[in-house]
Amino acid sequence: MTFFNTFRDNSRRIACALAAALCLAAGARAQSQDEPDVVRTSTSLVILNVGVADRKGQAVTNLTQGDFAVYEDGVRQSVVSFEPAAAPFSLVLLLDMSGSTINFRPTLKQSALRFIDALGPEDRVQVIAFNDKVQTLQPFTADRRKIAFAINEAKGRGNTGLYKALGHSLAELSKEGKRRKAVVVLTDGLDTDERVLDGRTSAQAQTGDEAVASVKPDQSAALRSVLDAADRLGVTIYPLALPSADPKKLLPFTPQQSAIYASARTRMQALADRTGGRLHEIRRLEDMGRLYAEVAAEMRTLYSLVYQSSNARARDGKWRAITVEVSRADAIARSRPGYYAR
């Protein structure tokens, strides 16, 4: 009887311990699922996508690693990795499916399909649609039929979670290893959360100029988070601004609307400038396909360089300027201008 009681007591203790462990594990999983997408990198390598053009604006695509010199804060850096312009990309095709894009959907999808046709055969694409939510329509693949099907399936309405979608895209790209990385985002740039914050900040302004001056778009926490993640991963972002982002279509508009639209455009420009991309403004819907094709063509002319920063300072959050030079006298290199050492 004593053995039986002891066995029963031990069994109960074991069962309770197992139950507690299972609860802790379930709680950890739930917490992980509830956490927002986060890009974590432990490396101090700096990744650059670099475009080179001659004085006539024609792309130069036949350079080698020895043709490049990279400087950080004026100090030459040692390039540890180099990819030629023909190397494949992993890219996210990010489609704004909020209510403000409904009237553009047929042209939007046709233009996105044209963009896919212009990519290299080994480029891997993930298709993501966003409005209030972020939805992956097609995980990374080089299968053009699957990509096209996902584009045609994109739909929705509602608000615009642009920076949430960009954060998710960067988290997905972080899983693509050492491949070159880019995001092509078609949007009006009017992120709903930022729009509310800009409206509150400019609420007391009496004129459009006062309202615009009252908002500091580059201080947006959401924008800084995206730019910092793009810095760490070496991701180039190409925003294509839809006509619905043009405030002239709202005339007359309030001072607060002036601030909201001006700030949205400034942030889109920052996404391009800080990552070495280019902002393309779609003024007419019939231009959308051509601009998509231009982005695809530009991506095919980018070199990728990686260097280990020789800067001995700790990551103090300060700006570090980057300059890229090429040995050809008639060529000019373009890349992101630097990064914050965070």
Say how many C-beta atoms besides its own lie within 10 A of residue 340's C-beta: 15
> Would you say 140 and 113 are in contact if contact means Cβ atoms under 8 Å apart?
no
pLDDT at 16 over 50: no
Q: Are strands 331-334 and 45-54 parallel, antiparallel or unpaired?
A: antiparallel
Res 22: pLDDT: 38
pLDDT band at 313 (very low <50, low <70, confident <90, very high): confident
> Would you say 241 and 277 are in contact if contact means Cβ atoms under 8 Å apart?
no
Res 248: pLDDT: 63
68-88: pLDDT as tens digits: 999 999 999 999 999 999 999
Half-sphere exposure of 322 (CA within 13 A, CB side): 31
The residues near 138 (Cβ < 8 Å, ≥ 6 apart) are 125, 126, 127, 146, 147, 149, 150
> Would you say 240 and 185 are in contact if contact means Cβ atoms under 8 Å apart?
yes
Res 246: pLDDT: 61
Which DSSP category does 36 fall into? P
51-71: pLDDT as tens digits: 999 998 899 999 999 999 999
Interaxial angle between packed helices 192-201 and 255-275, expressed in degrees from 0 to 180 and rounded to the nearest 10:
130
Res 1: pLDDT: 42
> Would you say 280 and 294 are in contact if contact means Cβ atoms under 8 Å apart?
yes
pLDDT at 98 over 80: yes
Q: Are strands 89-96 and 124-130 parallel, antiparallel or unpaired?
A: parallel
Q: Tell me which of 20-24, 200-204, 249-253 is least confident.
A: 20-24
Res 18: pLDDT: 37
> Would you say 60 and 331 are in contact if contact means Cβ atoms under 8 Å apart?
yes
What is the mean pLDDT of the segment spanning 111-123?
91
Res 302: pLDDT: 95
Res 163: pLDDT: 97
C-alpha–C-alpha distance, residues 139 and 129, integer Å: 12
pLDDT at 264 over 60: yes
pLDDT band at 306 (very low <50, low <70, confident <90, very high): very high
Res 316: pLDDT: 81
* 65-99 residues labelled b (16+ CB within 10 A) or e (exposed): eebbebebbeeebebeebbebebbbbbbbbbbbbe
> Would you say 67 and 326 are in contact if contact means Cβ atoms under 8 Å apart?
yes
pLDDT band at 244 (very low <50, low <70, confident <90, very high): low
Q: Tell me which of 9-13, 29-33, 169-173, 294-298 is least confident.
A: 29-33
Q: Which percentage of the chain shows pLDDT scores above 70?
A: 85
pLDDT band at 17 (very low <50, low <70, confident <90, very high): very low
pLDDT at 20 over 70: no
212-243: pLDDT as tens digits: 999 999 999 999 999 999 999 999 999 999 87
Q: Are strands 236-241 and 280-281 parallel, antiparallel or unpaired?
A: parallel
User: Which of 101-105, 227-231, 254-258 is predicted most confidently?
Assistant: 227-231
Res 220: pLDDT: 96
C-alpha–C-alpha distance, residues 124 and 120, integer Å: 9
C-alpha–C-alpha distance, residues 38 and 332, integer Å: 35
pLDDT at 24 over 90: no
DSSP per-residue letters across 190-249: --HHHHHHHHHHTTT-SSHHHHHHH--GGG-HHHHHHHHHHHHHT-EEEEEE-GGG-GGG
C-alpha–C-alpha distance, residues 166 and 230, integer Å: 10
Res 249: pLDDT: 60
3-state secondary structure of 305: strand
Res 4: pLDDT: 35
Res 247: pLDDT: 60
Task: Please report the sign of the dihedral spanned by the C-alpha atoms of residue 160, residue 164, residue 166, residue 171.
Answer: negative
270-287: pLDDT as tens digits: 999 999 999 999 888 888
175: left (phi over 0), alpha (psi -120 to 50) or beta: alpha
pLDDT at 9 over 50: no
Q: What is the mean pLDDT of the chain?
A: 86
The residues near 133 (Cβ < 8 Å, ≥ 6 apart) are 161
E-state strands within the chain: 45-54, 68-72, 75-77, 79-83, 89-96, 124-130, 134-141, 180-187, 236-241, 280-281, 302-308, 319-326, 331-334, 338-340
What is the mean pLDDT of the segment spanning 31-47?
53
If one compares 39 and 320, the residue with the highest pLDDT of the two is 320
Residue 53, class by beta-carbon neighbours within 10 Å (0-12 exposed, 13-18 middle, 19+ buried)? middle
